[in-house]
Chain A
Amino acid sequence: QKEVEQDPGPLSVPEGAIVSLNCTYSNSAFQYFMWYRQYSRKGPELLMYTYSSGNKEDGRFTAQVDKSSKYISLFIRDSQPSDSATYLCAMKRGSQGNLIFGKGTKLSVKP
């Protein structure tokens, strides 16, 4: 079983839709959970991070962590064509640990 599982998609939605992106993981020691966004021909950039369980909201983006289910989610409300990118989940055990990435989900928001 891979440490981090993420459906690579692609996922296509109409503008204004609510998007749900998810990752599952197997290592219960993970404490830090991140979402990176990667535009085409660019490097990934940190979008959101959450420590341990709970929700975090930033504008149209909400990150959720459910440690009991080993499941993390990123929700995008009122999706825009500019949200079209690949979204990578990443996580690590401790503050000094290396990040373990998912495969990334390619999202396309159609106008």
Chain B
Amino acid sequence: ETGVTQTPRHLVMGMTNKKSLKCEQHLGHNAMYWYKQSAKKPLELMFVYNFKEQTENNSVPSRFSPECPNSSHLFLHLHTLQPEDSALYLCASSQEVGGAGAGELFFGEGSRLTVL
């Protein structure tokens, strides 16, 4: 495996379900991110982790719960979601928080979430 991998690629869940998204980076980076991508909207930063410590929570509702057990793995636990939470959830990593200098983020292919 190379780069940033996300599972599952597609997820359909009801509003009362509990599910988790998983992200793994094989790049030796120290920072990991969750972004939300909705149609016709800019990428929204949700959470930032640096050396597995959360450094930013961008006013995300508590029905989204991140977990970062180590610098290579990131989870997003989902519970009692709303239909408006349907979106593409992208995981990214960078060598340092913010991606020092050029700011290159390496993204996974995303998990497409549909909330019924």
Contacts and interface: CB of A to CB of B under 8 A. Distances in A.
B103 interface: yes
B13 to A, nearest CB: 20
A45 B4 CA distance: 12
Interface of A: 4, 6, 8, 32, 34, 41-46, 49, 51, 88, 90, 92, 94-104
Contact of B48 (A4, A32, A98, A103): A98
A100 B103 CA distance: 11
Interface of B: 4, 40-43, 45, 48, 56, 90, 92, 96-110
Contacts of A103: 40-42
A22 B42 CA distance: 15
B111 to A, nearest CB: 11
B42 A99 contact: no
A95 B100 contact: yes
- Identify the 5 closest CB pairs spanning chains A and B, nearest first: A43-B107, A101-B43, A96-B98, A101-B42, A49-B102
B6 to A, nearest CB: 8
A41 B88 CA distance: 10
A42 B56 contact: no
Given A96-B97, A96-B100, A102 B42 contact: yes
B40 to A, nearest CB: 6
Given A4-B42, A88-B43, A49 B90 contact: no
